[in-house]
Amino acid sequence: MSSREATYQDRVTSLEEFAPHFNWKELGASDHSVQFYEDNSHLINSLKAYVSTGLKANENIIFIATPEHLFDLEKQLEKEFDISKLKSQGNYIALDAAETLSKFMVEGSVNSELFAQSLGELVKNTILTNRPLRAFGEMVALLWAEGNFDAAINLEKIWNDLRKKYDFSLLCAYPLNSFSGESKVNSFLHICEEHSHVIPAESYISKSSRDERLRSISALQQKAISLEAEIAEKNRLELNLLEQQAKLNLATMRTTQLQEAVDDLKAFSYGISHDMRAPLRCIQQYSSLLIEEFGKEMNSKKLELISQITSSSRNLDKLIQDILSYSAISHQDIKIRPVNLNKLVNDLVQQYQDFQIPNAKISINNPLLPVMGNEDALTRCLQNLLANAVKFMPPGVKPEVKVWTELLDKNVRLWIEDNGIGIFPKHLERVWRIFERVYPQKTYPGTGIGLSIVRKAIERMGGSVGVESEFNKGSKFWLEIPGVA
Ligand code: ADP
């Protein structure tokens, strides 16, 4: 026989040893076995085999289980044995698992002394009858179900210590589903380590032929490998998620810090702008006082210088007011309500002489459509647009301004058309930016903030702005916001 054939022969022979069925008669006198089970009926069949094998061999039985399991087992045993008689002779001792457990559990831990005084004594006394002892205990499974894993493993160890003192066989049982989940893998191995025999659950045991059992082992191995791969993938994704979460937290933290810095800066600049107005008012008042008190004694040069001071401080005051308005329109809460645009524009024209004949002719194409917006912000916008429309005029030309609205789908577009100097195409975009002005202060006074206030306010109302213009051909400014449904 070649060495190759000999190896094959060895393998075939050893195959016979593979995947044996568990035989209760093979249990050693001092074995500590664990039975895993999927279904209660399988556990009861197993227990019946375990206990009846012992009873037939004239062994004593200590059976510690839940009331349900006790009831089901005894119903089975009664078909073959006189249970009452066996109980009265002390050959079959049945105990309630929870009640027995309560005798030696102290604050969630097993007290070994109390265990020795209760169960230890019972085992000792039963052994003294000179019959072999077979015990079944389900207390560990109760502790496990409660999530008290340490106590369950400790109780297994205490049973093992007792078995070192006295020879008896012990069987424990756990429902397999109490070990589901990746986190239970190690504790499952730990429980197995505490036992001399591990009896698999019925999905393996129930296979009748050796071949079926080998197939079931192969299927389990395949399942284990794919689960391990899935777990590795899950862990990788979890790690990835944690990294992303950490980055997000960092970004959120930085955004909060940045927002705080911006808020501080806003409060600071608002405060400064506000405080600068008081000394400015002083300058204006003292300039007026100077002229009132000493104007008659001053020559025209001095009077001119003082009026320069007054107008510069007035300009600066206007600039500060506009900055404050821009800041307010950018950050204040803007409540949107239906606004009667027709009344708003007519009131504005009535209010300012610059908008009235003979200074200007403003024709309103009544009635202007109502809109959804903020009345104060809209007043501010229209005041700026009308002021610009009458301001940017060629010398000697009387402002003629037309105002009308049109409905565009659900929005209302309001137009303000003037006959002014118009805007070069290259400036059409930049006029909306803050502090951008096309002409020097002397030619057309202003701060360069008005249109940026308009744009910011309209955008905050969910709308948009625009302008159509050509140099020397007047301008058509428009704003568009939702209409009243
Ligand atoms: P200000 O009017 O204080 O200069 P605005 O922000 O209101 O500032 O306007 C910015 C610039 O846009 C103006 O300086 C001007 O050059 C241009 N502009 C605004 N409105 C008109 C208009 N109706 N006609 C011509 N140019 C205009």
Please spell the DSSP secondary structure of 302-340, one letter per residue: HHHHHHHHHHHHHHHHHHHHHHHHHHHHHHS----EEE-
CB 383 near ligand 1, within 6 Å:
no
447 C-beta closer than 6 A to ligand 1: yes
Pairing of strands 133-137, 169-175: parallel
Nearest atom of ligand 1 to the alpha carbon of 431: 12
Distance 433 CA to ligand 1 centre (A): 10
For residues 375 and 371, what is the distance between their CA atoms, to the nearest angstrom? Answer: 10
The answer to whether 270 touches 324, Cβ cutoff 8 Å, is yes
Pocket lining: 355 vs ligand 1, CB cutoff 6 Å: no
Sign of the Cα torsion 371, 337, 340, 449 reads negative
Query: How far is residue 17 from each of residues 23, 210, 214, 339, measured CA to CA in Å?
Result: 14, 10, 11, 92
C-alpha 340 – ligand 1 centre gap (Å) = 26
Residue nearest atom 20 in ligand 1 by C-alpha distance = 388
| Residue owning the nearest CA to atom 19 of ligand 1 | 388
Atom 8 of ligand 1, residue of closest alpha carbon? 448
Distances (CA, A) of 175 to 49, 144, 149, 270, 277: 18, 10, 14, 71, 82
Q: What is the pLDDT of residues 74-104, one digit of tens each?
A: 999 999 999 999 999 999 999 999 999 999 9
Alpha-carbon distances, residue 74 vs 51, 157, 160 (angstroms): 10, 28, 27
Q: How far is the CA of 219 from the centre of ligand 1 (A)?
A: 81
The token duo for 385 is 């647009």
Tell me, using a 6 A CB cutoff, whether residue 319 lines ligand 1: no
- If one residue of 431, 434, 444, 470 were mutated to test the ligand 1 pocket, choosing by the most ligand atoms within 8 A of its CB, it would be 431
Q: Residues of the chain whose pLDDT is less than 50?
A: 1-17
Q: Is the CB of 423 under 6 A from ligand 1?
A: yes
- CA-wise closest residue to 385 among 411, 408, 362: 362
CA of 385 to the centre of ligand 1 (A): 9
Q: What is the pLDDT of residue 219?
A: 87
Q: Could you give the CA distance from residue 288 to residue 306 in angstroms, rounded to a whole number?
A: 9
Residue 392 Cβ contacting ligand 1 at under 6 Å: yes
Task: Give pLDDT tens digits for 177-230.
Answer: 999 887 888 888 999 999 988 888 888 877 778 888 888 888 888 988 998 899
Measured by CA distance, the residue closest to atom 12 of ligand 1 is 431
d(CA 192, CA 34): 7
Q: Is the CB of 463 under 6 A from ligand 1?
A: no
C-beta 450 within 6 A of ligand 1 = yes
Give the strand order in the sheet containing 361-364. Answer: 361-364, 400-408, 411-417, 475-482, 464-469
pTM here is 0.55
- Decide whether any atom of ligand 1 lies within 6 Å of the 451 Cβ: yes
At a CB cut-off of 8 Å and minimum separation 6, what does 474 contact?
Answer: 417, 418, 419, 420, 422
431 close to ligand 1 (CB < 6 Angstrom): yes
Task: Using DSSP bridges, classify how beta strands 105-106 and 109-110 pair: parallel, antiparallel or unpaired.
Answer: antiparallel
Burial (CB count within 10 angstroms: exposed 0-12, middle 13-18, buried 19+), residue 286: middle
63 lines ligand 1 (CB under 6 A): no
Beta bridge partners of 65: 96
Task: Say how many Å lie between the CA of residue 451 and the centre of ligand 1.
Answer: 7
The amino acid sitting at 108 is: G
The reply to whether ligand 1 has any atom less than 6 angstroms from the CB of 421 is yes
The finding on whether 389 has its CB within 6 A of some atom of ligand 1 is yes
Q: Which atom of ligand 1 is nearest to the CA of 434?
A: 6
Polymer length of the chain? 485
What's the gap in Å between 437 CA and the centre of ligand 1? 6
Residue 370: exposed, middle, or buried by beta-carbon count in 10 A (0-12, 13-18, 19+)? middle
| CB distance 418 to ligand 1 below 6 Å | yes
The DSSP call for residue 462 is T
Give 188 Cα–ligand 1 centroid separation in angstroms. 80
Question: How much distance in Å is there from the Cα of 353 to the middle of ligand 1?
Answer: 20
pLDDT value of position 25: 64
Q: Can you give the pLDDT at residue 266?
A: 81
- Does residue 326 have its Cβ closer than 6 Å to ligand 1? no
Residue 439 Cα to ligand 1 middle (Å): 9
Ligand 1 atom showing the smallest separation from residue 416 Cα: 23
Query: Phi first, then psi: what are they for 397, rounded to 5°?
Result: -95, 135
